[in-house]
A and B are shown apart, each in its own frame.
Chain A
Amino acid sequence: MKGRIPIRIANKRAYIWDVDDLDKVRSEHHICGLLVGTLPHLSQQNVFLGLPAQLTPEEATLLVEKEYAVFVDDTNAYPEPSLSQFQQWNAEQKRYIEHQRAALESENVKSSEVAQLVVSEEAVRKRKERELRRQQKALELRRLQEVEGDGAVHAILSQPIPTPSADVQALFSDLRPTTSSAPAQYNICIAASSSSLEWYSPESCSYSTIDAARTAGIWDFPSNLQDRARYGVFKDLWEQGYFLGGGIRFGGDYLVYPGDPLRYHSHFCATVIESPTHTIRPMEIVAHGRLGTATKKTHLFCGWDDEKKTVSYVSIEWAGFG
C-alpha cells in the first residue's frame, strides 16, 4: 500500500486532495478528474475551481484496480485523540495565539502612526470650528426654550448635551497604543487539510481492492449491469491509451481524447450499450451520427458483452450523401 495515491472517500464519492497526487494521476495514469473545490467565502463562484478533484466512479475504480491508488475511508480516519495528543495540540494552539498577540501589538504601533498622519492639522482645525458652531447653536436653542417656557422641551434640552470633543478624544484614545488594554482578540485558523493532525490514521481504514472497500461499505461501483458496462468500456478505452472525459456536451457517455484534453480535441463521442441485444433505434444513429460529423467527431457505439467481458465498437459517420 506504500506509495499508492490516497483517494479519499466521502459519501461514496472519490476525491483527490493533494495537488501532487492529481498531477501524477493525470500525467502518468491519464486520469483527469474534475476540480470541484471553491472558496469558503465565495462558494457561488465556479469559474476558477481548485482542490479537491472529484473522480468519476470509473476513474476511481480503475486507479484502485490497477494498484495505483487506495481508497481511504476519510470519515473514520480521525479517531478520538489521546490525552497527550490533545494536550500537545492545545499547547500548539496557545503558542499560535501568543504569536498572533505579539504580531498584533507591533502592528498597533504602526496603525496609530498612520492615524496621526491622516488627521492633519487642517482637519483638526476644521473639526474644532464645527464643534464650536454646534455648541453655540445648542446654547441659542436652550435660551429660546427658556424664553418660551415650554416645560417638556425644556426638560429634554436641559440635559447635558454630549460634547463632540469628548467623542473625538475617545476615538483617538482607541487608536493610541496602550499596553495595558491590548486587544484580547485572535484568529482561529482551521487548516484546509487536516491530514497533519497527530491522530489522523488513514492506514487503519485504507482499502487496496474494490472488494474490500465494498465489504467495508464505502464503495459500491460497479453495482449493476449498467455500471459494469460503463466501467468495461471505460477501462477498455483507457487501456488503449485514450483519455476520457464526460460526454454530456455531445450527448454521449464519454468523450474520447487521443491525449491530454488540454492539448487535444476529442476524436470520438462514445455511447455505452449494455448488451449485444440492447435496443438501438435508427433515430439514435441519425442523431449521434449527424452531430458527430458536424463537430468533426466519429460517434462510437461501445457494446458491452457481460458474459465475455469484452467490448465491441461500431463507428458512425454521416455517409456524405442522401
Chain B
Amino acid sequence: MLEIHPSYPALASLIEKYPAHRGSLFQTYNDILLAQQWRDVQVIDLGDCRRGALRGKRPKTATDPESLLHVIPCSLAESISMAWIQNVFSALDNPHSVYLAVVSDDSSIVYYKLSPGIVKPSI
C-alpha cells in the first residue's frame, strides 16, 4: 500500500535500501512535511548508519527559519547506543544538533533534540 501514497516516490530508493526502517522514515517524512509544515525537505542516506534521514527548514513563522535542520527517524522498539548517536553525528558532518523522531506503532511521533557535548537548557 505504501507504493500508492503520494510521498512514496521521494522515499522509494531508501525504502528499498533499508526496508527495516521504512515505517519510521515514511511516518516521519509525512509528519515533518505535512503536519510540521517544514520547507525544502530532502531525504538523505546516512550511509554507515544504515538508514535514511531528513533535512529541511522550519516554517517561515518559526524562529530562525533559514537554518538547515536534520531529523533522524527511529522506531520506539529499536535499541540505540552512544556509539549509534555518535555515528549519526559523524555521518551528517557534525551539526550542532539533530532531532531524533521517535515513532510508535500507532504512528504517533515525538521529537527530541540531541546535541553533542554539554549544552545548557534553552530558557
Q: Which residues of A contact B (CB under 8 A)?
A: 240, 267-268, 273, 275-283, 285-286, 289, 292-293, 296-298, 300-301, 303, 312-322
Contacts and interface: CB of A to CB of B under 8 A. Distances in A.
Interface in B16-39: 31, 35-36
10 contacts: A279-B79, A280-B81, A297-B121, A313-B118, A314-B82, A317-B113, A317-B122, A319-B112, A321-B36, A321-B111
A265 to B, nearest CB: 10
B106 to A, nearest CB: 14
Interface in B84-123: 84-86, 99-102, 109-123
B113 A318 contact: yes
A286 B82 contact: no
B76 A316 contact: no
A241 B120 CA distance: 15
Nearest 10 interchain pairs by C-beta: A303-B82, A319-B111, A276-B83, A315-B119, A322-B111, A315-B115, A298-B121, A282-B102, A289-B112, A279-B79
B86 A312 contact: yes
Contacts of B83: 276-277
Contacts of B76: 282-283
A276 B121 contact: no
Interface of B: 31, 35-36, 74-76, 78-86, 99-102, 109-123
B34 to A, nearest CB: 12
A276 B81 contact: yes
Contacts of B31: 322
A298 B81 CA distance: 19
B100 A267 contact: no
Given A321-B36, A322-B31, A268 B118 contact: yes
Given A312-B86, A317-B122, A319-B99, A282 B80 contact: yes
B121 A293 contact: yes
A314 B121 contact: no
A318 B101 CA distance: 11
Given A286-B110, A297-B121, 8 more contacts: A277-B82, A292-B121, A298-B120, A313-B118, A318-B111, A319-B99, A319-B111, A319-B112
Nearest to B69: A319
Nearest to B120: A267
A301 B82 contact: yes
Contacts of B100: 282, 285
Given A278-B81, A298-B121, A322-B110, A285 B115 contact: no
Given A286-B112, A319-B111, A322-B31, A280 B118 contact: no
Nearest to B122: A317
B37 to A, nearest CB: 10
A282 B116 contact: no
B112 A298 contact: no
Given A276-B82, A282-B80, A293-B121, A314 B114 contact: yes
Contacts of B118: 240, 268, 298, 300, 313, 315
A244 B112 CA distance: 25
B121 A319 contact: no
A319 B32 CA distance: 13
Contacts of B120: 267, 298
B82 A278 contact: yes
Contact of A279 (B81, B110, B122): B81
B79 A314 contact: no
A81 to B, nearest CB: 54
